[in-house]
Amino acid sequence: MFTQFHNPQSLHGELLDFYLANGWFRSGQYIYTTKILNFDGKLYSPIRIRLPLEGYEFRKSLRKIWNKNQQFSTVFRKAFISREKEELYQKHKLRFDGYVSQTIKDALQDGGETTIYDTYEVAVYDGEKLIAVSFFDLGNKSMASIIGLFDPDYSSYSLGFYTMLAEIKYGKKKGYKFYYPGYIIPNYPKFDYKLRIGEVDFYKAKEDKWLPFPEMNNNDLPSEVIENQLIKMGMVLKMHAIDYKIYFYPLFDKGYMNHIGELQELETPLFIQLQSSINNQKLVIDFDLQKHCYRLTQFHGFLKPIENFYDSSTHKEYDTFKTLLIRQFKFKESKKPEEIAKTIMEMMKLSS
């Protein structure tokens, strides 16, 4: 699965530590993990990062930001929703990417009155005016930064970054072992500011381990691997005069969808569909990241179109496939694109 969602009854203490250590992060009252995101019509792979707090100290550039904001009042407390925070969220939410919740209450609590997390906040005041607030969840040994807001009129003070530093200070003082600021996205620099906090580690899902960030290799990113492998497959199909088209599939990240009987939904952001039917069958080629191989499969497509998707359900380079696809029969699985093409040629010969 590219995306998995869990919705436990409570999520703090050792359980939150466990999820965070395994590359999961929260969304509203869910916790999820995903290999691929779609921003601005392009696929990216988020990389979870964390900062070890033992022995950590602010370097000179961070101390400068910290000292600049000591003119304001900074308060640490149990998180709560208020009108002034909602107003701050409305001012700030245009800065967010992808799907954006309508209110801070929706973003943190899915609109409900309670939360399954042990959430605290850093609130920054200029006199009596709230000018920034950030929210963070607490486990036993770990803490996770969730969302930061600041008044655009105070942009010159780097308040969004300052509240991250305040969270880190809080974590060190309370004896937490790790600070999780969320993810960065290679080749999408908007989130790179998180790397400024210090020497972070990154989660390598394939090996299920945390490694020093300089060891990250962009060639290992799932988004890059899938697209490059399908392009390679397409070149082989073209050599054999097999007509094909690469599609973007917007349901790839709907990991909470149930399987239908023994059949399974297509779970990939990009796939190849052969443009000619073979024995009245529409065939699809996708790339399995786990096995690192191609799959030639017959799919059944529901005629009812996919509806009510937000803007990120499109791709700049590939057309969007707008019906649900259910896997019916797998004809061939191979690491070699030539073997997939050979199977297709044999099927075409038998059907003629």
pLDDT at 299: 84
Is this structure's pTM higher than 0.75?
yes
pLDDT at 1: 64
Q: Comparing 221 with 259, which gets the higher pLDDT?
A: 221
In percent, how much of the chain has pLDDT > 90?
A: 71
Q: pLDDT-based confidence at 99, cuts 50/70/90?
A: low
- 177 pLDDT more than 50: yes
Q: Cβ distance 158 to 191 under 8 Å?
A: no
pLDDT at 3: 80
- Average pLDDT score over residue span 286-299: 93
Q: Domain boundary at 216, 250, 284, which? A: 216
Number of separate domains in the chain = 2
Q: pLDDT-based confidence at 266, cuts 50/70/90?
A: confident
- 91 pLDDT more than 90: no
Task: Verify that 251 and 191 share a domain, yes or no.
Answer: no
Task: Verify that 271 and 125 share a domain, yes or no.
Answer: no
Task: Verify that 265 and 182 share a domain, yes or no.
Answer: no
Task: Verify that 231 and 212 share a domain, yes or no.
Answer: no
Task: Verify that 120 and 204 share a domain, yes or no.
Answer: yes
pLDDT at 259: 45
What's the domain range around 278? 222-351
Task: Verify that 184 and 236 share a domain, yes or no.
Answer: no
Q: Domain boundary at 216, 234, 249, which? A: 216
Strands 319-320 and 244-248: parallel
Question: Any idea what the CATH number is for the domain that residue 17 is in?
Answer: 3.40.630
- 243 pLDDT more than 50: yes
Q: Domain boundary at 216, 234, 251, which? A: 216
- 270 pLDDT more than 80: yes
- The CA distance from 284 to 273, in Å, is 5
Task: Verify that 71 and 210 share a domain, yes or no.
Answer: yes
- 152 pLDDT more than 50: yes
Q: Comparing 146 with 279, which gets the higher pLDDT?
A: 146
- 306 pLDDT more than 90: no
Task: Verify that 73 and 180 share a domain, yes or no.
Answer: yes
- 272 pLDDT more than 50: yes
| Selection from 26, 58, 4 nearest residue 183 by Cα | 26
Task: Verify that 184 and 243 share a domain, yes or no.
Answer: no
Task: Verify that 226 and 177 share a domain, yes or no.
Answer: no
pLDDT at 39: 83
- 96 pLDDT more than 80: no
Neighbours of 260 (CB within 10 A): 13
Task: Verify that 198 and 313 share a domain, yes or no.
Answer: no
Mean pLDDT of the chain: 90
What is the residue whose two structure tokens read 């969302």?
147
Task: Verify that 211 and 245 share a domain, yes or no.
Answer: no
Q: pLDDT-based confidence at 258, cuts 50/70/90?
A: very low
Residues 236, 238, 241, 244, CA torsion sign: positive
As a residue count, the chain comes to 352
Neighbours of 332 (CB within 10 A): 19
